[in-house]
Amino acid sequence: MSHKLQIRVYYEDTDLAGIVYYANYLKFIERARTEWVRGLGIDQSRLKSETGIVFAVRRIEADYLTPARFDDLLEVETTPARIGGARIELEQRVLRGEDTCFAARVTLAALSASGAPARLPADLRERLASAGAGS
């Protein structure tokens, strides 16, 4: 199951040509991941305070396919691909209508307060897996 978040391109998101600056796609997909987790009922602040677990981006494979421009209404689609013991893999796309502007495969690592890999609690893994990804 995919999560979708709409984002409007503001002037601050663009370069002098009115095209979305490449690094801003990473901000767009970060916002979408945060809303995806929130939509699953996971409070990341509480997760950190109760378990010490935080999520960190470990790897991103990104493809810039067609430019988004000032005032475009974009949709960021987040689809879980795989949930592991301490890792979450997601497919994310930034769409303008039917056109894919940006596509990424993102690997998140669950980390303890000390920065070491941490196993996801079973109930959290189940909630993430129920969103459409397997192990």
From first CA to last CA, the distance across the chain in angstroms is: 15
Active-site residue among 13, 15, 72, 99? 15
Q: What digits encode the pLDDT tens for the residues 103-134? A: 999 999 999 989 999 999 888 888 888 877 65
Look up the pTM and report it: 0.92
Tokens 């991103």 found at = 60
How far is the C-alpha of 105 from the C-alpha of 127, rounded, in Å?
20
One-letter amino acid at 19 equals: I
Phi-psi region of 6 (alpha: psi -120 to 50; beta: other; left: phi over 0): beta
63 a catalytic residue: no
Quickly count: other Cβ atoms within 10 Å of residue 51's Cβ: 15
Domains, the chain, ranges and CATH? 3-130 (3.10.129.10)
pLDDT at 6: 98
pLDDT at 126: 87
Q: Is 104 within 8 Å of 89 (Cβ atoms)?
A: no
